[in-house]
Amino acid sequence: MFNAAASKPELILITSIAWCFLLCGFAEKAGLSKEMGALIAGVSIAAFPYGADVIAKLSGIRDFFITLFFVALGMKIPIPSIQILSISLIAVVFVIFSRVITVATPVYLSGKGLRAGIVTGLNLAQISEFSLVILSLGMGYGHISKELESTVLTSMILASVVSTYIILFNDPISRFILKILNMIGLKEKEDEEDQTESYITGQSKRDIVILGYFRIAQGLLEGIEREKPEWLNRILIVDFNPVFRQSLEAKGIRWAYGDLANPETLHHLGIEEAKYVICTISDMILKGTTSRRLLESLKVICHRTQPSIILTTDDVQEAEILVKSGAAHVIVPGRISGMSLFKEMKTIVDHSKRSLESQTSSVKKKKR
């Protein structure tokens, strides 16, 4: 079903929403809640290569309903007493401490470094909203008292507020914790620093990103395969046509489904660490965006690494504008084809001229 809709990026969103409603209906018939059906739908969509694109396109709707969710959540919380606040603070401290311990320990033992585990644990400091689903079920069955509900809700809100600043300042906090751990003999290994950064970002080293897979991209990959095959495992191709996925992945190239018109899609695919971003399709093929808009989006997404951005256009004047706007290089396929054709034509004409001169010379010799 998703493969059939993949050729039209706008159909992916509609298909995903329809799939969600379908599973919600099945869940209700099976005696489960509609929320559980929606959760199952989300998990199943995430297993497909279209997950990042769907997340990007649903982000606006998600943010709108999250706002309403927190409004409704705040209306449920009565004015907390000193006792509830105290218990909630203790619960938040316990959650943060337990997350850091349970995450940092296996990460450190697996050789990824202390800082990687600490930062990851700090980033998981919040209490999941899924706990509210369990809480509402417990309230419905009468297993949870009103006081406990207030305590859990207050704890979740406190954790949300505190975790915002913890995530914002996770680097200085992790360094402070590292100093304390160094005093008791746990030290970060110096040669693990690069592994730590890679683990924190969660990105594989795909620093060559190719946007769109068509004739130019195919020719580019042929050249890379022939001249620089070691580059293949550094390449990420973002395209909406899954036909080439298996053949590309068989070569060690990572393929990801994505709509280039949506900047959030590129953000969710994690191209922030790219060193080279190459768009091999021009405005005539791009749908819903232009090379100029794409360039501005890439500059915002990759502002930290500032990669070399190579674009494609069909107009020489547009190429000059793109270079002035920050593109490292702009390919004009018509111009390249014309120059190549001129060289071939010049070779043929020169060869014909030499052949004619040779024939004329031989005729003159015979007359003598």
pTM above the 0.85 mark? no
* DSSP, residue by residue, 263-293: HHHHHHTT-TT-SEEEE---TTT-SS--HHH
- Highest-confidence segment of 38-42, 148-152, 310-314: 310-314
Average pLDDT over residues 4-27: 80
Q: At what angle do helices 82-109 and 114-123 cross, to 10 degrees?
A: 150
CATH code 3.40.50.720 region(s) in the chain: 204-331
Measured CA distances, 331 to 110, 209, 220, 319 (Å):
45, 16, 12, 8
pLDDT at 201: 41
* The total number of residues written for the chain in this structure: 368
pLDDT at 190: 47
Average pLDDT over residues 241-268: 82
Please check the confidence at residue 362 and state whether its pLDDT lies above 70: no
Which of the 8 DSSP states describes residue 311? E
Percentage of the chain lying above the pLDDT 90 cut: 9
Beta bridge partners of 279: 211
Q: Which residue has the higher pLDDT, 73 or 12?
A: 12
Please check the confidence at residue 61 and state whether its pLDDT lies above 70: yes
Q: Which residue has the higher pLDDT, 121 or 191?
A: 121
Number of H helices, E strands in the chain: 16, 6
pLDDT at 160: 83
pLDDT at 175: 82
204-331 CATH: 3.40.50.720
* DSSP, residue by residue, 197-262: HHHHHT--S--EEEE--SHHHHHHHHHHHHH-GGGGGGEEEEES-GGGHHHHHHTT-EEEE--TT-
Q: How does residue 311 score in pLDDT terms, banded at 50, 70 and 90?
A: very high
